[in-house]
Structure 1
Amino acid sequence: MKKLTAMSLTMPAVVAAGTDEMVRHLYKFAFNRVDEVPETSAEKQKYADDYYSYVNWLHDQPTEMWQLHQMEPKHRLIATYLAAEEPTTDTVIIAHGYKGNGETMANYAKMFHELGYNVLLPDDRAHGKSAGKYITFGWLDRLDYLEWIQKIINTVGTDSRITLFGVSMGGATVEMLSGEKLPEQVRCIIADCGYSNINDEMSYLLKKTFHLPKYPFVPAVDFLNRQRQGFDLKQVSSVEQLKHNRLPILFIHGQKDAYVPVEMLIDNYAATKGPKEKWMVENATHAESFWIDPAAYKEHVADFINRYIAYHPSAN
């Protein structure tokens, strides 16, 4: 009986220690910077040859390296700038996905380049060539994109017309950016498969990938993140930011997306107050909408931008 009592007293400590170790493992897996892009999922391996042809195309272009905070190594941010073949002040900023970088968006860069736009491809914090120890899932990145926007205005011209475009985490990044006070040069937004908020996204993937419940793991990861990055994961919400948006936005989402559920598209679409459209791509999984039919994707995107590039809420 004494042994049983001693065991019952020590078990909570053992469980707590195991939980703490798991939380630290989860945080490292999800938030630590990435220096090499992970392999794509098995279902997208069929696009590998096309993907690398786009990357090679980008490498062959006369690009420029842009920097923010150049004299601060721990905060330095890097982007690739590709000017249009014909001079223009119309520019698209492309936000990459989770554990990607600007180069992984080469297919979209080529699409917009063919449409006649300047293209800026930032590497987010803790991705690619940019500094940063931890991934912020778009939350702090949105503030960096405000600086990239200003750099475009300063470099390309005050008559710039800017489109924000992002896929997956990049989609959520431009959705969250939409809630900030944006200069009049920003005209419209295109968000492909962005999540509604990181709390729900993490809870969903925790169950799907690791078969673990939301509690106690997500609150514990949140606590660890507040210690390391200084913000609450509940703040990382596309829905809350979209409530302040007045710009036109096109939402794109694959009907078979099992990584960011379609319900998140519905929540994001309902939240925004500006002109809005949604395009559900039949048979597309997560971030696959472009690859299923690049021509149709290009047509949808071009049509949306052409209708709204001259738009600004103050003039409407």
Structure 2
Amino acid sequence: MNRAKCAPRLTSLLAVLLGLFVFQTTTYANTSNEMTDPSPTSANVSDQPTATVDGPSVSATSDVETDQPVNDPAATSASTTETDYSADDASTDSGDSTTQPSDSESKDNQPAVDDVQASKQAENNPQPTVENGTASPNSTASQQPETTTSDNNASQKTATPSANDRITIDDANNPDNPAWKQSSNNPLINFITGITSTIAAGVVYPFAASRQGAALLSKIRTLMSPDRYNVDQMWSDLDSKYDPAFTKTYYTDAKNWYDNEVTRQMLSVPFADGTGNASATYIAHPNSTKTIIYGQGWTTEPEWMGYISKVFYDMGYNVLMPYTRGQSTSDGEFLTFGAKDKADWLNWINKINDLNGPTSKVVLYGQSLGADSALQTAAQSNLPSSVKAVIADCGFSTIPSLLFSLYTGASNSLNNLTSKIGWNLNGTIPLVPFDQFLNGFNNINKLLQGFSLDAVSGITAVENSKLPTMFIATADDTFIPDTQTETLYNLSASTLKQLWILDGNVGGHASANNAVKDYTARIQAFLNQVDAQNSDTKLNITNDQHVAA
């Protein structure tokens, strides 16, 4: 092969791959009513059985004001019925579930994936039965609830959790999983694509994980979507059922509150491994010993977190906003996707406890990457008892699953171009098979950071935490599919858990807070349940001690 001719072609391919990656990550500007799910396992609403919530419809009350906390535990829903189910006694060791391939799966020739994973999914992924708005962990796949709405003009979408939401490194290298193991059996071709895939991973990795690369990519995304961090966009295309007028008033006030009114403190703690320091912005609520620790998303601007923090401040909470390793004012040259941040969060929790004394109560919260930081923190065996609950907004199930979703979306975008000349890519990127790209990405991460991508698993985290947990997602999220959040909910070992998936047009990735009236009401109601559960526990302990005496 002529090297002079090969080099420009390879460079062009990598440029296209990186461009598609940037395009796929520019999701904040995606506010279309009809979500285009990049996963080949997304299901059409007509293909799935329907289970309707028969319980009474509840709505956010007028108590949800910009300066008033929501105290009504019944105020837990939007005016229409979205996917919303909770479990007071959920177990991950019971229940049966099977995954039916959707039409799109058949088109992409992927039934073998679900056949291989069926037994694994049946054992570990029970679907809740909906009875009067409360979920029971024991049901069959035919009873699986779906997103429904009373608005005939609103988008109706059911995204069924699948094997694609539970991928590990070993899964992607298993020859029985052709949807993920795309590399050729031909040794020569396999050798060539191994090189090109590793080069592609080497190009993409710095933009995903390094401080400078992620910051540059964030600027590129902002150039492509200038309104990405414009507060006005939070209500500009919000479905009417989520009260955009309220959102406009709320976030206009929130921006002024954070920029000009509130007192902010900069705090720091040492990294758990002693390699640097983590920094955070702290907003103290007068006379409160309750604190929300708000995990930063991937490339999320601190000011943007500040605007959203008012939601929790108005509930009476102090707010601590730590910046992850490799972002903002924290030290570190690489983002660890929560792998090392979870240990740093223990230092933050201890610092908050020192500030607020023996009555300190902590709730872990995060969006996107921050959601997984919160979930991974909650799963640690040495978690302080002051931590009472977790709220995970649009977290990922596993890194390989997230990369596969992005890879498939990039492939589909590229296929839109190649199909015009009759070249169907069938879910692949030329010269970059998914399994080899994933292996290259993982090997680079292990070389530079010392841990495998499988060590960063939302699934492993929820399977090892019994803290009360609320899972939130939006159906129009094209960055982290809402099915990943549903998978986390299904596998959670929490004794009190809730799932809320907002349907219709909300704003794309990490946008549930745009529906701020319902967002506040739902979260407040969940935290009220947590408080009630804690009160019952204390009462039982007191009674037991009295009897024993």
**TM tier, shorter chain?**
0.7 to 0.9
Q: 1:92 to 1:11 in 2, by over 3 A?
A: closer
> In the alignment, is the contact (CA less than 8 A) between 2:198 and 2:436 conserved in 1?
no
Aligned AA (2:210): N
Q: 1:130 to 1:150 in 2, by over 3 A?
A: same
Q: 1:14 to 1:271 in 2, by over 3 A?
A: closer
Aligned AA (2:197): T
The equivalent residue for 2:368 is: 168
Q: 1:185 to 1:217 in 2, by over 3 A?
A: same
Q: 1:46 to 1:95 in 2, by over 3 A?
A: closer
The equivalent residue for 1:243 is: 463
The equivalent residue for 2:520 is: 298
Q: CA deviation at 1:18?
A: 3.4
Per-residue CA deviation, residues 39-63 of structure 1 (Å, 9 max, x unaligned), is 4574965953367954553232211
Partners in 2 of 1:193 and 1:118 — Cα distance? 23
Q: 1:193 to 1:13 in 2, by over 3 A?
A: closer
> In the alignment, is the contact (CA less than 8 A) between 1:123 and 1:129 conserved in 2?
yes
1:255 and 2:443 aligned: no
Partners in 2 of 1:141 and 1:113 — Cα distance? 24
Q: TM-score, with normalisation over the residues of structure 2?
A: 0.52
Where 1:190 maps in the other structure, the secondary structure is strand
Q: Which gives a bigger RCO, structure 1 or 2 (Cα 8 Å, sep 6+)?
A: 2
The equivalent residue for 1:69 is: 270
Aligned AA (2:511): E
The equivalent residue for 1:227 is: 447
Equivalent of residue 280 in structure 1, options 501, 512, 523: 501
Equivalent of residue 110 in structure 1, options 310, 313, 319: 310
Where 2:232 maps in the other structure, the secondary structure is helix
Where 1:134 maps in the other structure, the secondary structure is coil
Q: 1:11 to 1:286 in 2, by over 3 A?
A: closer
Q: CA deviation at 1:35?
A: 4.3
The equivalent residue for 1:192 is: 393
Aligned AA (2:292): V
Q: CA deviation at 1:13?
A: 6.9
Partners in 2 of 1:128 and 1:309 — Cα distance? 33
Q: TM-score, with normalisation over the residues of structure 1?
A: 0.87
Equivalent of residue 203 in structure 2, options 25, 37, 41: 25
Per-residue CA deviation, residues 51-97 of structure 1 (Å, 9 max, x unaligned), is 79545532322111101129x9951111000001x311111100121
1:178 and 2:405 aligned: no
Partners in 2 of 1:257 and 1:27 — Cα distance? 23
Where 1:309 maps in the other structure, the secondary structure is helix
Partners in 1 of 2:305 and 2:475 — Cα distance? 21
Q: CA deviation at 1:270?
A: 1.4
Per-residue CA deviation, residues 236-258 of structure 1 (Å, 9 max, x unaligned), is 11111111111111111101222
Q: CA deviation at 1:269?
A: 0.5
> In the alignment, is the contact (CA less than 8 A) between 2:298 and 2:370 conserved in 1?
yes
Aligned residue pairs total 307
Q: 1:297 to 1:228 in 2, by over 3 A?
A: same
Equivalent of residue 308 in structure 1, options 498, 505, 530: 530
Larger radius of gyration: 2
Matches within 5 A, 1:80-229: 80-84=281-285, 86-181=286-381, 182-209=383-410, 212=429, 213-229=433-449
- Worse overlay, 92-101 or 120-129: 92-101
Q: Give me the CA root mean square deviation.
A: 2.9
> In the alignment, is the contact (CA less than 8 A) between 1:95 and 1:102 conserved in 2?
no
Partners in 1 of 2:467 and 2:198 — Cα distance? 43
Q: 1:101 to 1:185 in 2, by over 3 A?
A: farther
Q: 1:260 to 1:44 in 2, by over 3 A?
A: farther
More strand by share: 1
Where 1:250 maps in the other structure, the secondary structure is strand
> In the alignment, is the contact (CA less than 8 A) between 1:101 and 1:122 conserved in 2?
no
- Worse overlay, 191-200 or 49-58: 49-58
Structure 2 segments unaligned to the other structure (5+ residues): 7-186, 235-250, 415-428, 541-549
Q: 1:261 to 1:228 in 2, by over 3 A?
A: same
> In the alignment, is the contact (CA less than 8 A) between 1:250 and 1:278 conserved in 2?
yes
Per-residue CA deviation, residues 130-183 of structure 1 (Å, 9 max, x unaligned), is 111111112211111111111101111121011111111111211222211221
Partners in 2 of 1:281 and 1:134 — Cα distance? 33
Where 1:48 maps in the other structure, the secondary structure is coil
Structure 1 segments unaligned to the other structure (5+ residues): none
Aligned AA (1:187): K
